Amino acid sequence: MKRTEVYAHRGFSAMAPENTMAAFQRAVDAGADGVELDVHLTKDNKVVVIHDETVKRTTDGTGKVRELTLEELRRLDAGSWFDPEFKGEKIPTLEEVLQLVAEHGMKINIELKNNRVIYPELEQKVANLLQQYGLVKQAVISSFNHYSLKVMKQVQPEIDTAILYMEGLVDPWVYAKHAGATSLHPYWYTVVEEVVKGCQKENLPVRPFTVNQPKGMRRLLQLGVDAIITDKPDVLREEMEKTAAISPS
């Protein structure tokens, strides 16, 4: 059976503030195969790593990412909200994370946050950075905006693109192929054996998100999903070891 890969959701976000270099470094230290992160564009068109359209929830500042320059964003504290230990953590640029990923030979899942705010240049800028760091083949681009994925395929045809979705879709592999995507990132609770088998038959990887409970991890490991996206890569590693120990040789 093919080994399931471990993707750290927004880095090791159970142990460090999400989407910060501290969280990504901890994902490296935990032995994750890859990291998942979210990107937006700043007022001066720099690609930055943050989940929300605004900075309010994860920094000590206020305002929309799109209305702030990179310099303004870098003045914000993106760590203290999580724990005083992380005071002074900054909102990273995508380039900073790519440097870390390239250094450690990891994979990377970049979610394009082209949802509530549309960034017409986001796909091209992300593609350019992946090319610059030689990470096109180690990357998967996901989004809830499937039109954005089509644009990414146009600017970088060989990139792996994954549809994000929350619903229990019938034959989701049919839709994915229709949309031109090459992977599926479903909400984990919607993943059943029929979905995994259908996708395997069409050679479309399935990487459920965001799986944090051991019971859910075990179920998905038994189904043979290609990767699991989790806030707790350490817990997933433990469950993988247990599953391997009881599997027939």
| Residues with a known catalytic role | 9, 51
Q: What would the two tokens of residue 18 be?
A: 């999400």
* CA–CA distances in Å: residue 155 to residues 119, 149, 235: 15, 10, 37
Hey, CA dihedral for 157, 164, 91, 99, is it positive or negative? Answer: negative
178 phi and psi angles, rounded to 5 deg:
-60, -40
Tell me whether strands 47-49 and 34-41 are parallel, antiparallel or unpaired.
antiparallel
Token code pair at residue 39: 């990107």
| CA dist., res. 193 & res. 191, Å (int) | 7
Q: Calculate the CA 217 to chain-centre distance.
A: 17
Query: Distance of CA 73 to CAs 154, 173, 176, Å?
Result: 30, 39, 36
Distance CA 133, CA 115 (A): 26
Amino acid type, 152: M
Phi, psi at 28, each rounded to 5° = -60, -50
Residue count of the chain, please give it. Answer: 249
Q: What is the DSSP letter of 86?
A: G
Q: Which residue has the tokens 């702030």?
A: 68
